[in-house]
Amino acid sequence: MDECRQLLADGRRRRLIRSLQVEGETTVEDLTMRLLADGPENSREKIHTELHHTHLPKLQSYGIAEYDRDSGTVKYQSHDGLEQVLDSLPEQTIVPPVKAGNK
């Protein structure tokens, strides 16, 4: 349980996990665009770099996401302990999927 709380301590990672729960499978680029809506202080490059080097590898190491660096795809892997802790937290905003042509 402490591992789950540590993993969920980062707000961006919580939003990332919630987005993956909704989508099931997506791309790093789509996740970047969703998280870009968090605020103007975030650049696309910064978010993409954090996803690629920090958040997605960490989620993969915990078995929460399957991340294929070569194709850029990310697939959610259900995790009961994490979902239980996440559901007990206040609801976070889930950024809606980006529609083609809005990127």
Strand partners, 75: 25, 66
pTM across the whole model: 0.74
Look up tokens 């892997």; give the residue.
Answer: 77
* Cα distance between residue 80 and residue 35, in whole Å: 24
| DSSP letter (8 states) at residue 64 | S
Domain boundaries, the chain: 2-88
Q: Write down the H helix ranges in 1-103.
A: 2-8, 11-23, 28-36, 44-50, 56-61, 80-88
Write the pLDDT tens digit of every residue in 30-73. Answer: 999 888 876 666 788 988 999 999 999 999 988 889 999 999 99
Write the pLDDT tens digit of every residue in 7-33. Answer: 777 878 888 888 888 889 999 999 998
- The residue-averaged pLDDT of 76-86 equals 75
Q: What is the pLDDT of residue 70?
A: 92
CATH code, residues 2-88:
1.10.10
45 or 84, greater pLDDT = 45
* Cα distance between residue 83 and residue 81, in whole Å: 6
